[in-house]
Amino acid sequence: MPESRTPIRVLAHESAVPVIARELSRRRFLSFAAAAGGAALLAACTPAGGANPSAQATGGALESSLSVYTWGDYDSPDVVANFTSEMGPKVTLDSYSSNEELIAKLVAAKGTSGYDIVVPTGVFIPQMIENGLLTKFNKDLLPNLANMDPAYLGRAWDPENDYSVCKAWGTTGYVYDKTVITRELSTWDDFFDAAMNEASGKTSMSDDPAGIIGSYFWAKGADWNTTDETELQACRDFLVNELAPHIAAFDSYPGTNAIPQGTQVLMQAWNGDARLGLLESSEPDRWQWVLPGPSTELWMDNWAIAAGAPNPEAAHAFIDFSMTPENLMLNLDYIGYHVGGKDMEAAATAEGLELPELIFFTDEQLSTMHEQELNDSQTVRVEIWNEMKAAAGA
């Protein structure tokens, strides 16, 4: 187990927080959502409840239920069960595979989705706020914000944490079967080469435009936020025409089934999901996790409350409950991602947490991770994602 270090300083360094220099107009945002979710969203033209819905929670009695729309298997069952046992509301969890799917659902619903809590990745939050998809916090109801490390607060997308707070952060790499791929893989170029050779027809990639398109630029050590049409066309040509025929599935959660069941040979994966798969596998030594070079991504998912949330009191209570020290550790252990609390690595070390190297990263590793920017190329990126999936027939 590595000695305790403070990677959060690197994460929080100003140079590591990209400035979203080219914000999408509202029209472009809705166009992007339409590309992700279908033509019906073209009718979505009025923000739900105004451009900036105010907090509806006042600290009154909690409602009897709570609906959370989040990433798959992203909350410790113990935290959820304990919340219901201690606080009362029954929690329903629904999942999505990409921010595009989440946003499409919220735009189509126009504030009537029925969801209370959502968990968007940070870069999407400014436009979600502008388009009335999120409700402002009543921070008086979130006293456990004090348990969060300041490095994870005040991010560029929501400087005052008025609408969001860190749920978890991580990165993207891949896992491969060493009994089939007997050479060492260490880069994104290696991933592509193996996908088109030993692992052809037995490779999965995330069902997420960011990770798929990002991997092409990460392999080149290039700016993955480029808006250059020539570079994006080259990306399209490679992913759709060269790589897609070798891809068997688009699976954002290979740790749930594909790794434990051995159904794929090579799988793009977020670090926490990869850790889950390795822990669940009956043959953990069969698999190798790779944090590939020369670069990859850094993302942060965030607790937020959807506009029109029917249970705002319970929503605030659940977010606050999840930020107690004990529940932060339960979630970190279960999902395998750093959840932003204070002194998490020291606490994990004391508890003998398994595979900490898939949760806590060195300064050198963090220096290779770069955040996404939401810019005018997003619609093109969604188009490439859809074209690649169609070409793969997966």
184, 192 contact by CB (below 8 A) = no
For the chain, the average pLDDT equals 88
pTM for this entry:
0.82
User: Do you know the residue count of the chain?
Assistant: 394
Rg (CA), the chain: 20
335 SS3 class: helix
* Alpha-carbon gap, residue 133 to 110, rounded angstroms: 8
> Could you tell me if 249 and 266 are in contact, meaning their C-beta atoms sit under 8 angstroms apart?
no
CA-to-CA dists, residue 275 to 253, 287, 294, 353, angstroms: 11, 11, 21, 12
Contacts by 231-240 with C-beta closer than 8 Å and gap 24+?
232/377, 232/380, 232/381, 232/384, 235/384, 236/384, 236/387, 239/212, 239/213, 239/384, 239/388, 240/384, 240/387, 240/388, 240/391
Instruction: Indicate the SS3 state at residue 127.
Output: helix
- H-helix or E-strand spanning residue 27: helix 26-37
Place 225 in a pLDDT band, splitting at 50, 70 and 90. very high
CATH fold, domain 171-297+377-392, is D-Maltodextrin-Binding Protein; domain 2 (3.40.190)
How many CB atoms are closer than 10 A to CB 243? 22
pLDDT, tens digit (0-9, with 9 covering 90-100), for 3-25: 332 333 234 333 333 333 334 44
pLDDT of residue 62: 97
Sorted by sequence, the CB contacts under 8 Å of residue 228 that are 6+ apart come out as: none
Q: For residue 41, is pLDDT > 90? A: no
CA atoms within 13 A on the CB side of 182: 1
Residue 387's pLDDT band (cuts 50, 70, 90): very high
Distances (CA, A) of 238 to 172, 215, 375: 20, 11, 22
Cβ(259)–Cβ(274) under 8 Å?
A: yes
**Is residue 169 over pLDDT 50?**
yes
Are 7-53+61-169+298-370 and 171-297+377-392 equal in CATH topology? yes
pLDDT digits (tens, 9 = 90+) for 126-148: 999 999 999 999 999 999 999 99
**Count of other CB atoms within 10 angstroms of residue 389:** 18
Q: Residue 302 corresponds to which tokens in the numbers above?
A: 């965030």
- Structure confidence by residue, pLDDT tens digits, 273-330: 999 999 999 999 999 999 999 999 999 999 999 999 999 999 999 999 999 999 999 9
Q: Write out the CATH class of domain 7-53+61-169+298-370.
A: alpha beta
Q: HSE on the CB side for 50, CA within 13 Å?
A: 6
Residue 394 has pLDDT above 80, yes or no: no
| Angstrom distances, CA of residue 62 to CA of 81, 85, 183 | 16, 13, 56
Q: Which residue has the tokens 């932003």?
A: 340
Angstrom distance (rounded) from CA 143 to CA 59 = 12
Distance between CA 238 and CA 193 in Å, rounded? 12
Region of residue 290 (left: phi > 0; alpha: psi -120 to 50; beta: else): beta
Is residue 1 helix, strand or coil?
coil
What does the domain layout of the chain look like in residue ranges? 7-53+61-169+298-370, 171-297+377-392
Instruction: Work out the average pLDDT over 78-82.
Output: 98
Q: Is the pLDDT of residue 77 over 60?
A: yes
**Crossing angle, helix 209-219 and helix 229-236, to 10 degrees?**
100
Least confident stretch, 20-34, 117-131, 249-263: 20-34
CB atoms within 10 A of CB 286: 16
